Amino acid sequence: MSAIKPVTYLTEEESMFRDLITEFANEQIKPHVMEMDQKAEFKPELVSQFFDLGLMGIDIPEEYGGTGGNFFMSILAIEALARVDASAAIYVDVQNTLVNNAFQKWGSEEMKKRFLPQLAESKIGAYALSEPSSGSDAFGLKTRAVDKGDHYALTGNKLWITNAAEADIFLVFANVDPEKGYKGITAFVVERDFDGFTIGKKEDKLGIRASSTCELIFNDCPVPKENVLGEVGKGYKSAIETLNEGRIGIGAQMIGIMQGALDAGMQYAKERQQFGKTIAEFQGIQFQIAEAATLLEASRRLVYNAARMKDNGDDFVVEAAMAKLFSSINAEKVTSRMIEIFGGYGFTKDFPVEKFYRDAKIGQIYEGTSNMQMATIAKYLLRG
């Protein structure tokens, strides 16, 4: 365990919740982390445990089958899981901060009653916005939805879709009227067994390997009109607002990764001996640990603050962008420093720090690159 004192800005209930998830992660997930990473497969029984523990519907109201928690509790769970395995954290992250949030904010009452209990109890959700030619330019998407009277027909491809191999419910963004540009973008709920919908190639990734990332292929896929999430032509708005929340989730992943790497680095420093004493006794190592701990704590406060603002109903766009930007940059720095503390051993797969390093890199890329976060921050600040 870390030698850093617990943060003082959590309530006793929140601290207990985070500790319970940390204990679960250490006991149930940690023994399988390296095997899952090597095989690029997440154990299905662990996902079942996520549902059993209520982790897949943390802030879904109890009336819809959820645990009735809040967004901040989702962030604590993501952080605690990422401390052991970022791939595990991603299941809980995407489900809570993107999919569940989108249904709660934009879904009709009928849609909430239909899908939220499934998402809370047994079915994994995925969020499908990115395309081969549409990454940072998220609204340059080419997937088309044609109005067929009683349904829409979706045609196109989605790329880099997290948890796609295991998901049953997909939030898919397509354009119903390309001549209107982004104002034609609409959100659709696509279920796995729909005709004309297939899961494509699973990517072979640098990090978060146990989490699936796949292509989605739509070939004249019929989607009932009651599966439109929100208003037709307003999908761009729901996408932007949902991603703002998702960025806080990415920040939580990054602080969890940093904490896990720092824990490992400090433990090793207290055991490894050189020149007749532990390397933890050398000032050079102490300075690296001190800097890493400071970067982690600063990142954590940004992430927690953004999550609190979201729950309070405040405008948190800038704070979410700052949290993701700062924590993802620092995650790469901290995990790199911990590899250096391990020396040659840190460069091997026999110790956990190389995986933390690989897992950290994606934080600066998905759900908005670091450049896009800086653009968002600057735009809002310059507007006053």
CATH superfamily of 12-123: Acyl-CoA dehydrogenase/oxidase, N-terminal domain (1.10.540.10)
How far is 271 from 287, CA to CA, in rounded Å? Answer: 17
Q: How far is CA 80 from the centre of its chain?
A: 13
pLDDT for the residue 2? 45
* 3-class state of residue 226 by DSSP: helix
> Quick one: average pLDDT of 286-299?
98
Answer whether residue 1 shows pLDDT above 70: no
Average model confidence (pLDDT) across the chain: 95
pLDDT tens digits along 32-60: 999 999 999 999 999 999 999 999 999 99
Q: What is the pTM of this model?
A: 0.96
Answer whether residue 4 shows pLDDT above 50: no
Answer whether residue 3 shows pLDDT above 50: no
pLDDT tens digits along 293-318: 999 999 999 999 999 999 999 999 99
| Catalytic residue list contains 367 | yes
pLDDT tens digits along 109-140: 999 999 999 999 999 999 999 999 887 887 88
* % of the chain beyond a pLDDT of 90: 95
> Quick one: average pLDDT of 75-94?
98
Distance, first Cα to last Cα, the chain: 43
pLDDT for the residue 135? 79
The CATH class of 236-383 is mainly alpha
pLDDT tens digits along 215-271: 999 999 999 999 999 999 999 999 999 999 999 999 999 999 999 999 999 999 999
pLDDT tens digits along 96-105: 999 999 999 9
The CATH class of 126-232 is mainly beta
pLDDT tens digits along 320-367: 999 999 999 999 999 999 999 999 999 999 999 999 999 999 999 999
pLDDT for the residue 286? 98
Q: Which of 79, 131, 354, 367 is catalytic?
A: 367
How far is 172 from 154, CA to CA, in rounded Å? Answer: 9
pLDDT for the residue 8? 55
Between the CA of residue 165 and those of 102, 152, 354, 357, what are the distances in Å? 21, 24, 26, 24
Q: What are the residue ranges spanned by the domains of the chain?
A: 12-123, 126-232, 236-383
pLDDT for the residue 384? 76
